[in-house]
Every structure is written in structure tokens, then in C-alpha cells.
């Protein structure tokens, strides 16, 4: 900066004013400075600016697993929306466990992200006594008792719609394939509740034999569940999967056992990840409005960065049930 100032024959302060487009710099001086910047290849030092201002202009996005299709999808929307608002996004991987998610918060502050969007799957009790007002927006399904801004998925509503749809297509023995804990309030328990409610309304069986619980929510686990389901002799004719990833594994596992979809079994997923539309058969699924969620989450962090003490809010994403081949009638 000093070099530029010398080259242009002005002070550092004038250079700063030009760089930041501040008023009060005469046109000829401004031009001299810009020329000097160009010639010297000067570039502002973000660290110095950050040190002074206390802001980095970076929003963190912590997701359980960057590899999962769903998160790539989400990330691209968050990046776009943040850019629109003049922020930059840094993606963090938290691992799908409470420790990793708590670490992500700590790391986010250490790295001085101005705020963090945390797609939490495991963290239900987050303790942050030291600095309770770090701008933190929860994205996901758990219950945080109103302590954080929270963009939620339409978990119950979505699964309810998917289950009801399968029933409407003629399914009578509808299983659910899910993972994680059915205790407490989280994605899994909420989706399970939507499934139960839809079956109850129609007087259809629900009970444990139709409940398949996975160790994790991977494609491989979905595939294994399909094998168990096919071998169970339960006469299952419909399956609600807790996520599309699991559903895609299911489709594969049912194919392994020679079961036709939708001929023998109808399947519905949740998320509408891109591969869902291209699977063979294409996958019926609950499609939350990801763009809406991303935009909302970014809006909330940005607002909270500006006003750390404003009251928190909870917002549920709108969704559509996208009906495709995997649940076709007849």
C-alpha cells in the first residue's frame, strides 16, 4: 500500500479511500491511484482488514459429509445466495456425530467465520457458554428449543404425503426403512411419525415388523435393508425410505433379489437429489425446496451477524411430492 501511495504521490490513506470507493477523492487523484495499483500489482491484504474490522466476510457451512449428493446440492445454493449478499462460503465437514458438530462450531469461530450454517444431524444439546451470541443457524431436523435460528425440513408432512401416496396407489403393507434413533425429536423420529400417522388414518398396519432400522444412512445400508426386506416374507408392497440415498440403495437391493419396482414393490424417497430423477426406475420422492432453504439460511445468518440479539425463528421448508416411476400404479 505504501508502494502504491509513493507511486501515485499520495498518502496511504488516500489509497485506502480509493480502494474502498469512499467519497472525497478528487477524480485526477483517484485515477493516479488506480493506475499505480495496476502497475504495482497491489492487492489488499484481507487479514489486515479483518484484523482491523473484526469481520472476514466468510460464512461457514458445516455439513456431515461432503460426499453425500444432498449436501453438494445444498452447498451450491448456499454459495450462490451468499455471493449475492457479498459473503463467501467455506465448506466444512463435520462427520455425522455430535463431537464433530461441536468441533465445527469451535473451528468456525477460531477461523473467524462471521457466522455458521450448521447442518446438524447428531447434535441435540449444544453448549456454548463462553460466547452465546455467535451467529449460528441450524439447518435440519432436530429440536433446539428455540435457542437458534432454525430452517427445518417438512419431515412429518413430507413422509406423511409419501406414505399416503403409496397407500393411494394400492399398497397395503408399507414398510419404512430408516436409520438412527427414534427417540427424541430428530429427523428420523419426525419422519417416522409422519409415516405412522398416514398409516393410522387409513387403518393400515404399521408395527415394528415393518420398521427396518439401519446402522447408517448410506446406499449400502439401503441395499442391505432391501435384502432383509425381500427375505422377510412380510409381503411388503410399499417402502418409504428415510432419504433418497437410502432409497437408491433399496432400488439396487430389490433388483438384486429380482423384485420389480413398481410391479412388486413401490418405493418413495425423501430429498429429491439429482440422481433420483435418473434412476431406473426413476424415484418418487419428497422434494423440499432446497433453494428456499439455502436462501433462508443465508438470510438468517446475515441478519444475525448484523443483529446478534434479535429473537430466533423456526422456518419449515415448503415441499412437493414428485411422483415418478417407482410408485406408478398397476
When the beta carbons of 10 and 248 are compared against DNA, the nearer one is: 10
Query: How remote is the C-alpha of 148 from its chain's centroid?
Result: 16
The grid coordinates of residue 247 equal 432409497
| Residues 159 and 286 sit within 8 Å (Cβ to Cβ) | yes
- Contact between 159 and DNA (CB under 7 A)? no
Q: Which of 20, 203, 307, 330 is the binder for DNA (CB under 7 A)?
A: 20
Which string of x and - marks every residue 30-49 that binds DNA (by CB under 7 A)? x------------xxx--xx
- Minimum distance of DNA from residue 14's CB (angstroms): 4
- Minimum distance of DNA from residue 18's CB (angstroms): 8
* Binding residues for its own copies, total number by CB under 8 A: 46
As a whole number of angstroms, the distance between CA 79 and CA 81 comes to: 6
- Contact between 289 and its own copies (CB under 8 A)? no
- Minimum distance of DNA from residue 47's CB (angstroms): 7
- Minimum distance of DNA from residue 37's CB (angstroms): 10
Strand spans (E) along the chain: 58-63, 88-93, 115-120, 136-140, 149-152, 174-179, 211-214, 238-241, 266-270, 284-288, 314-316, 319-322
With cell 492487492, the residue in question is 43
- Contact between 132 and its own copies (CB under 8 A)? no
When the beta carbons of 13 and 277 are compared against its own copies, the nearer one is: 277
Can you spell out the DSSP letters for 205-270? --TGGGEEEESS-SHHHHHHHHHHHHHT-S---EEEESSHHHHHHHHHHHHHTT--TTTT-EEEEE
- Contact between 52 and DNA (CB under 7 A)? yes
- Contact between 262 and its own copies (CB under 8 A)? no
As a whole number of angstroms, the distance between CA 105 and CA 28 comes to: 48
Residues that bind its own copies (CB under 8 A): 41, 43-48, 50-51, 56, 65-69, 71-73, 75-76, 79, 88, 90-91, 93, 109-112, 130-131, 219, 223, 248-249, 251-252, 255, 274-275, 277-282
Amino acid at each position: 500500500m505504501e508502494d502504491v501511495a509513493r507511486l501515485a504521490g499520495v498518502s496511504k490513506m488516500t489509497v485506502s479511500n480509493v480502494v474502498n470507493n469512499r467519497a472525497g477523492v478528487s477524480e485526477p487523484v483517484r485515477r493516479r491511484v488506480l493506475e499505480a495499483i495496476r502497475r504495482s500489482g497491489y492487492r489488499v491484504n484481507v487479514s489486515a482488514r479483518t484484523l482491523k474490522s473484526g469481520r472476514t466476510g466468510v460464512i461457514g457451512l458445516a455439513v456431515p459429509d461432503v460426499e453425500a449428493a444432498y449436501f453438494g446440492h445444498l452447498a451450491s445454493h448456499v454459495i450462490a445466495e451468499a455471493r449475492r449478499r457479498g459473503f463467501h462460503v467455506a465448506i466444512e465437514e463435520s462427520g455425522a456425530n455430535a463431537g464433530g458438530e461441536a468441533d465445527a462450531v469451535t473451528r468456525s469461530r477460531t477461523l473467524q467465520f462471521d457466522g455458521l450454517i450448521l447442518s446438524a444431524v447428531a447434535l441435540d444439546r449444544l453448549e456454548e457458554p463462553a460466547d452465546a451470541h455467535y451467529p449460528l443457524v441450524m439447518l435440519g431436523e432436530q429440536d433446539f428449543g428455540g435457542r437458534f435460528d432454525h430452517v427445518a425440513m417438512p419431515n412429518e408432512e413430507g413422509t406423511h404425503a409419501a406414505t399416503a401416496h403409496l397407500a393411494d396407489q394400492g399398497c397395503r403393507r408399507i414398510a419404512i426403512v430408516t436409520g438412527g434413533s427414534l427417540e427424541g425429536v430428530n429427523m428420523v423420529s419426525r419422519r417416522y411419525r409422519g409415516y405412522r400417522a398416514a398409516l393410522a388414518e387409513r387403518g393400515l398396519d404399521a408395527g415394528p415388523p415393518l420398521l427396518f432400522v439401519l446402522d447408517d444412512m448410506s446406499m449400502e445400508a439401503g441395499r442391505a435393508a432391501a435384502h432383509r426386506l425381500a427375505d422377510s416374507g412380510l409381503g411388503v408392497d410399499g417402502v418409504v425410505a428415510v432419504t433418497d440415498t437410502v432409497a437408491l440403495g433399496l432400488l439396487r437391493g430389490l433388483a438384486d433379489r429380482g423384485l420389480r419396482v413398481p410391479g412388486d414393490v413401490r418405493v418413495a424417497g425423501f430429498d429429491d437429489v439429482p440422481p433420483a430423477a435418473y434412476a431406473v426406475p426413476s424415484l418418487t420422492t419428497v422434494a423440499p425446496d432446497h433453494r428456499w432453504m439455502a436462501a433462508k439460511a443465508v438470510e438468517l445468518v446475515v441478519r444475525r451477524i448484523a443483529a446478534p440479539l434479535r429473537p430466533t425463528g423456526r422456518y419449515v421448508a415448503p415441499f412437493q411430492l414428485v411422483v415418478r416411476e417407482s410408485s406408478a400404479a398397476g
